[in-house]
Amino acid sequence: MRGWARYYRSSSKVDRLEAQRSFEEALEMDPESVNARVGVARILVGNMIDGWSSSFQHDEARAEQLLLEAVERDANSSRARATMGYLREIQNRLPESRLEFETAIALDRNNANTIAHLGITLMLMGRPEAAIPQIENAIRLSPREPGIAGCYWALGTCHLLLGHVDQAVDLFRQSRVANPQRYFIHLYLAGGAWLQG
């Protein structure tokens, strides 16, 4: 529980490191723990996504092993399936990512972050029109989600891909307000503004 509390506290490197320590301790105390395996894997995958991994290949291999073990022990763990979906997404194994996210959502229909990532996976698969309802649903379910900036960015990107430039720029602005520290949001906003003229 301490690991998840620290994980959800914020997305700083320090908080993630503390959360990982808690998950590692839990795994030492209970080597069969699905929750601890998923927790360590979620930290490793999050670090890879955010560019904080000191060894991408090592973290990827360890996350993969932990998640395979977690799913083997509990195939109905929504957290394990969602985390496997994040891993498959960054591995560019998008059909598998989509399947994992859909399975996780079937197990927990209120997980806004997983629903948003299903939308992102659909967008990456070249299906922005199918992604939009997923991302909008995630925003409705959890409008104060810590990662809401990513939801607005993804929704803006979908609209940009569909040629809805004005709507995309408005969404990129909302994303920037939600988290001005994400550099890529500024790049997308600048590109959208350029397209507007």
Residue 124 lies in a domain: no
- Encode pLDDT of 28-42 as tens digits: 999 999 999 999 999
The 3-state DSSP class for residue 142 equals coil
| Same structural domain, 144 and 87 | no
Residue 173 lies in a domain: yes
- Encode pLDDT of 166-188 as tens digits: 999 999 999 999 999 888 999 99
Q: Which domain holds residue 31?
A: 1-109
Residue 126 lies in a domain: no
User: Judging by beta carbons within 10 Å of its beta carbon (0-12, 13-18, 19+), is residue 136 exposed, middle or buried?
Assistant: middle
Spatial distance between the Cα atoms of 110 and 131, rounded to a whole number of angstroms: 17
Spatial distance between the Cα atoms of 12 and 132, rounded to a whole number of angstroms: 29
The CATH number covering residue 4 comes to 1.25.40.10
Query: Is the predicted pLDDT of residue 111 greater than 70, yes or no?
Result: yes
- Encode pLDDT of 58-77 as tens digits: 999 999 999 999 999 999 99
pLDDT score, position 140 = 96
Residue 31 lies in a domain: yes
Mean pLDDT across 8-30: 86
Comparing 15-19, 86-90, 91-95, which segment has the lowest mean pLDDT? 15-19
| Same structural domain, 104 and 10 | yes
pTM of the predicted model as reported, rounded to 2 decimal places:
0.90
